[in-house]
Structure 1
Amino acid sequence: MPSSLPLRNLTTPPSPFLHFLPSSPLISSFPHSIPMASFSSSTPTSTPQHQHQHEHEHPQNNLDQHKVSHVLKYHNQTKHNFNHYARGPQGLDWANQPNPFRRYLSSPLIPLLHSEPNSQTPLYHSLFLSLPSPHPISKSTISQFLFDSLALSAWKSTGFSTWSLRVNPSSGNLHPTEAYIVLPPIPNISDSAFVAHYAPKDHSLELRAKIPSGFFPNFFPPNSFLVGFSSIFWREAWKYGERAFRYCNHDVGHAIGAVAMAAAGLGWDVKVLDSLGCEELKSLMGLHVFPEFEIPSRAIKGKIPEIEFEHPDCVMLVYPSGIGGFDVNWNELSKAMLGFDELEWKGKPNSLSKEHVCWDVIYRTAEAVKKPLTLGDRFSVEPFQRTGVCGESSYKGLTVREVVRKRRSAVDMDGVTRIERDTFYQILLHCLPSGSQGGGEQRRQLALPFRALPWDAEVHAALFVHRVLGLPQGLYFLVRNKDHFGDLKKAMLPDFLWTKPEGCPDELPLYELLRSDCRQLAKQLSCHQDIASDGCFSLGMLARMEPTLHEKNVWMYPRLFWETGVLGQVLYLEAHAIGISATGIGCFFDDPVHQLLGLKGSTFQSLYHFTVGGPVLDKRIMSLPAYPGPDADA
């Protein structure tokens, strides 16, 4: 029987918010200690500002407000601070580390083709200017698509332990994201349209079900297919506890970005079908095979096999680029997908751990943000928008495959490597959602890979510049939606400069806030990690959060993390394309970051940190080919 889990708050000795910027009066005005709200249990309660509801309010409005209140409470509860970390396990239970490979036992296995490492694909930087002509769907192109997006990229070994790496990054290399592909009939794969689970360990498809022949012709243009993602929260919670829900959604964003880039190399476009609801996604991917998980009233530990279920995240349409607009009948599509429950589903999901820990607040939050079917939205095919060019010569002439499959997360930065100013500007140009259209005004997500996301940009970046030749050290800000500029400027410290740095392209909305050596500050804010100060630059991604939850609904909460994950994937690829490396940073002190910028309340929140720089390679670790790999589940 599961037992109540003794909770603790991981603590370090209290650290004052030190005055690391003596040349700036802005920092000297900050208090020496920053209070952090403490929570006595992981069970949600209403926050005071939302406790009193007017009698005349519509019940649905009350329910929606309750969900927003819960999400805000979860977000605050899972913040790290100088003297208070979000709740997590008391050490790692290595005996119960989750198996990173989901398998559907007894399902038919369809091996995919293994592409040659040096086979010709477009140059990486060319994809931001235009996409190649679309390739037809075939066993070869589907194999290449998955090989360059979600497959294994290498195995690593120290002699004592061996573990795998993937093309798509993951917090702690734990990989909570599972992928499903829904395809029309393809010669040498299947004579019927089908749903399959992608098994990255051996680059194969596990056939789950055959679907009606009219599904694709009735709803989508020719040469289209679907990719769906789900999350196994337990994989991430095993290490990170209550904060794991955030990291799972970062990883969904990483995977969306990885899929969009691999598809672009084949001349395919990608769009999240976000009008669909959680129930449609569950039926499409066959996730009803998992028993219903009853959320306990508190955090517990023990044998809880049902905690290994998969939470449906999103489904993307992959279709030929350059086709004209087409409409999607969401109501009929919903009926067709819900009908998949009646199909003959093959395979039994494998077990991932013998014993588990349930952090109940993760699952309550996942329930609160479940999206229903929404019929009012039209599917729109937006024209491809190219990205501005500033420092194109910085790229090493690498192909898409070379960049995506060589991507690694740096463990340490060398503290020496510098990049040119134009290279820095070029990286940031590729981080813009709208490309260079309309004089560079940013709002709609039209550029690669952000065009996969159907909402306007909600995420910005506060950058700590450490080692960029020709650019003063200091704090900078990238505005990724011009509609937020006034609110950002008003919400942040009044003494910030908000000036365009020297040589900055007109279409790049980058602003200098203050000049100073921010290396120690960046390190301190990112949980005292040297990697945040030893790179060329690091950054915090700020999302417009509470207004978005009210205006666009509570299910935008995980989607904000998806957007940060897509942005992080761009930074990973950009770093490797210019010959250096990068790492996502999930551990940072949330409210001290906000205080540095002068932000109050929940209008803007820091959701993800990142660092880009010269990596330190550990020569003790041996690199092995991805395929064929060792017989290990790691």
Structure 2
Amino acid sequence: MPELRQSIAQHYHDRTKYDPQTLASKSHSIDWAKQPVPFKDYKIGSDFDLKPYIHEKPEVFADNPDAQWWQRLSRLLFCSYGLTAKMPSMGSTVYLRSAPSAGGLYPAEVYVVSRGTPLLPPGLYNYQCRNHSLMHYWESDVWQALQSACLWHPTLENTQLAIVITAVFYRSQWRYEDRAYRRIFLDSGHLLGNIELAGAITDYRPHLIGGFVDDAVNELLYIDSQQEGAVAVLPLADLLDVKQNLPLGRTALPSSTEIDYPQIPDGELLRYFHTSTKILPGTTGKLNLPEVKQEKSLEDKYNFPFCQKISTATTPIDWGNKLDELEVNILKRRSTRAYSGSNLTFDELKALLNFTYQPKSYIDQGLDPQPDYFDLNLIETFIAVSGVKGLDAGCYYYAPLAQELRQIRFKNFQRELHYLCLGQELGRDAAAVLFHTADLKNAVVQYGDRVYRYLHMDAGHLGQRLNLAAIRLNLGVSGIGGFFDDHVNEVLGIPADEAVVYITTLGRPR
């Protein structure tokens, strides 16, 4: 019997793998004359300036409820995707944002949809991060159209505002070609992580929706779906309004699984794949989505026989009074450019894992104990340890339910990590390198080809929590989206079924 053909998600993943035998032949020279601008401009619309509210402490507006409302929205957007630094680069200026992005290309755009509040008229807004304002570019009521596009998700019934994240494909594709699709959704996941945490700071609860009719949301926003596409919708529940303290809703819906695809030329694979992962009108129908949350399975996936098991239970990171330190760390976060090669302590590694994977430990500090992901059952974590005091060098599986590390290989992998990360010194000099993986074949069975979006956004979301925990502990951290895919599994002993989705390096900054 002939073997079943791969789905388009599996085909895309295999087509965009880096391999040492083919990477040099596939490399392309970057056309700097065609470098995309990472901002959108709207020539027509009304501008709502948010800057006055970001420079003042909340106490200044204690007697002004309207100003308090504006400040909360201003801080939410600024912490999520605001401009936090300027750097000179090749004769021009690069603007850095609160969320990291591969190559500083920032493919995401942030829109706000208002149902119509006393202070924010109904319609569509684009967040203009260059001047920290909202551009009101469409002034009609579109909330019911958003509900329809999101298949009548229950969280949209009682909320008044929603964030929509889109991706402008060429911003990343200009540099990373077809593999850019991976980076686009990792970057979107970083942004989701910021929105979740910024929501806790500003008394909003973002409810994540990944299952929506793509073309309907794109048309709602008046964007060109050949150039830009919606990737996530987040109704914002105002926690200061008792009616908006809502139950959790379903975050992910399946798409179709495509196996009957043509030969796709290089350069066209990204857009073909994105189109294949859409939810089309009528394929799911009008649903009253159940109020469900994917629960982590009763056991961690891998329990290797005879492996050493080491507890990672620890004291939570302190984020300060009213999460003040969390806000500071979101805004000062930077990706580390070089590590010193010095060791981390095991306590530091435990604290990083605790904040990333144990949100219930932070309920007393005002953080959400069950933040929204698409499906963390699909994501696994492996850690290559090279320099952690109190922990033998080797590769470990992290079991979040048991809160323990399970060693699967005994070896210092520094030389191999340098090679696997395409010769980047970050891989060689890091004290620990964390790998997010997924069984892609099984994931496609559950959610169709759209799962590729969910996997990368969830990995990026986890990666952003790692970023912020590392910055709080004065450690270095940097994500890596370019690596020799198959060689990672072979060298580290990660099961072959696990596709590597994301790498995060950790160490002491030089």
Q: Normalised by the shorter chain, which TM-score bucket?
A: 0.7 to 0.9
Shift of 1:604: 1.7
Contact 1:523/1:532, CA 8 A, preserved across alignment: yes
Answer 1 or 2: higher relative contact order, Cα 8 Å, separation at least 6: 1
Residue identity matched to 1:430: F
Shift of 1:147: 1.0
Shift of 1:100: 0.9
1:560 aligns with 2:455: yes
Q: 1:194 aligns with which of 120, 123, 126?
A: 123
Q: Corresponding residue for 1:607? A: 501
Q: Corresponding residue for 1:378? A: 289
Distance 2:17 2:344 in 1: 33
Residue identity matched to 1:156: M
Uncovered stretches (5+) of structure 2, i.e. residues with no partner: 60-65, 252-264, 297-311
Q: Corresponding residue for 1:314? A: 232
Q: For residues 46-97 of structure 1, give each alpha carbon's deviation from its aligned partner in whole angstroms, at most 9, with x where no partner exists.
A: xx7335xxxxxxxxxxxxxxxx522211111110122222876621111110
Distance 1:87 1:120 in 2: 56
Residue identity matched to 2:347: D
Contact 1:463/1:539, CA 8 A, preserved across alignment: yes
Q: Corresponding residue for 1:263? A: 199
Residue identity matched to 2:235: L
Q: For residues 420-453 of structure 1, give each alpha carbon's deviation from its aligned partner in whole angstroms, at most 9, with x where no partner exists.
A: 212211211222267469xxxxxxxxx8587222
Shift of 1:511: 1.3
Q: Corresponding residue for 1:401? A: 327
User: Structure 1 residues 475, 136: closer, same or farther in 2, change over 3 A?
Assistant: farther
Q: 1:413 aligns with which of 339, 343, 346?
A: 339
Q: How does 1:119-158 map to 2 (within 5 A)?
A: 119=57, 138-157=69-88
Contact 1:231/1:248, CA 8 A, preserved across alignment: yes
1:533 aligns with 2:428: yes
Contact 1:152/1:164, CA 8 A, preserved across alignment: yes
Residue identity matched to 1:267: D
Residue identity matched to 1:320: D
Contact 1:532/1:610, CA 8 A, preserved across alignment: no
Shift of 1:264: 1.1
Q: Corresponding residue for 1:82? A: 20
Shift of 1:210: 2.3
Contact 1:257/1:449, CA 8 A, preserved across alignment: no
User: Structure 1 residues 537, 608: closer, same or farther in 2, change over 3 A?
Assistant: same
Q: Corresponding residue for 1:464? A: 384
Q: Corresponding residue for 1:367? A: 275
Contact 2:19/2:485, CA 8 A, preserved across alignment: yes
User: Structure 1 residues 148, 270: closer, same or farther in 2, change over 3 A?
Assistant: same
Q: Corresponding residue for 2:188? A: 252
SS at structure 2 position matched to 1:451:
coil
Residue identity matched to 2:3: Q
Distance 2:318 2:74 in 1: 30
Contact 2:237/2:245, CA 8 A, preserved across alignment: no
Contact 1:326/1:379, CA 8 A, preserved across alignment: no
Uncovered stretches (5+) of structure 1, i.e. residues with no partner: 1-47, 52-67, 122-134, 294-308, 331-356, 438-446, 483-506, 617-634
Q: For residues 567-598 of structure 1, give each alpha carbon's deviation from its aligned partner in whole angstroms, at most 9, with x where no partner exists.
A: 11111101101112211101110000122345
Shift of 1:230: 1.0
Distance 1:537 1:151 in 2: 30
User: Structure 1 residues 214, 260: closer, same or farther in 2, change over 3 A?
Assistant: closer
1:205 aligns with 2:134: yes
SS at structure 1 position matched to 2:202:
coil
User: Structure 1 residues 88, 519: closer, same or farther in 2, change over 3 A?
Assistant: same
Q: 2:470 aligns with which of 553, 572, 575?
A: 575
Distance 1:269 1:384 in 2: 19
Q: Corresponding residue for 1:238? A: 174
Q: 2:11 aligns with which of 55, 73, 89?
A: 73
Distance 2:410 2:250 in 1: 53
Q: Corresponding residue for 1:165? A: 96
User: Structure 1 residues 574, 120: closer, same or farther in 2, change over 3 A?
Assistant: farther
User: Structure 1 residues 310, 158: closer, same or farther in 2, change over 3 A?
Assistant: closer
1:50 aligns with 2:4: yes
Q: For residues 341-367 of structure 1, give each alpha carbon's deviation from its aligned partner in whole angstroms, at most 9, with x where no partner exists.
A: xxxxxxxxxxxxxxxx98101111111
Shift of 1:325: 4.3
Q: How does 1:323-342 map to 2 (within 5 A)?
A: 325=246
Distance 1:274 1:199 in 2: 24
Q: 1:477 aligns with which of 397, 401, 420?
A: 397
Distance 2:451 2:294 in 1: 25
Q: Corresponding residue for 1:594? A: 489
Shift of 1:286: 2.5
Contact 1:270/1:318, CA 8 A, preserved across alignment: yes
1:520 aligns with 2:431: no
Contact 1:199/1:206, CA 8 A, preserved across alignment: yes
Shift of 1:161: 3.5
After superposing the two structures, state which structure 1 stretch, 261-270 or 109-118, moved more. Answer: 109-118
Shift of 1:98: 0.3
Distance 2:395 2:419 in 1: 15
Distance 1:93 1:598 in 2: 39
Distance 2:292 2:209 in 1: 12
Q: Which has the larger radius of gyration?
A: 1
Contact 2:237/2:246, CA 8 A, preserved across alignment: no
Shift of 1:163: 1.0
User: Structure 1 residues 96, 461: closer, same or farther in 2, change over 3 A?
Assistant: same
Distance 1:410 1:311 in 2: 30
User: Structure 1 residues 152, 427: closer, same or farther in 2, change over 3 A?
Assistant: same
Shift of 1:393: 6.2
Contact 2:479/2:504, CA 8 A, preserved across alignment: yes
User: Structure 1 residues 562, 552: closer, same or farther in 2, change over 3 A?
Assistant: same
SS at structure 1 position matched to 2:210:
coil
Q: For residues 246-274 of structure 1, give each alpha carbon's deviation from its aligned partner in whole angstroms, at most 9, with x where no partner exists.
A: 11111111111111111111122222123
User: Structure 1 residues 545, 516: closer, same or farther in 2, change over 3 A?
Assistant: same
Shift of 1:149: 0.8
Q: Corresponding residue for 1:285? A: 221
Distance 1:267 1:584 in 2: 29
Residue identity matched to 1:477: Y
SS at structure 1 position matched to 2:3:
helix
Contact 1:197/1:206, CA 8 A, preserved across alignment: yes
Contact 1:429/1:435, CA 8 A, preserved across alignment: no
SS at structure 2 position matched to 1:576:
helix
User: Structure 1 residues 395, 182: closer, same or farther in 2, change over 3 A?
Assistant: closer
Q: Corresponding residue for 2:309? A: none
Contact 1:79/1:86, CA 8 A, preserved across alignment: no
Distance 2:27 2:20 in 1: 19
Distance 1:384 1:104 in 2: 42
Shift of 1:533: 2.4
Residue identity matched to 1:162: T
TM-score (norm 2): 0.80
Q: Corresponding residue for 1:9? A: none
Distance 1:451 1:327 in 2: 9
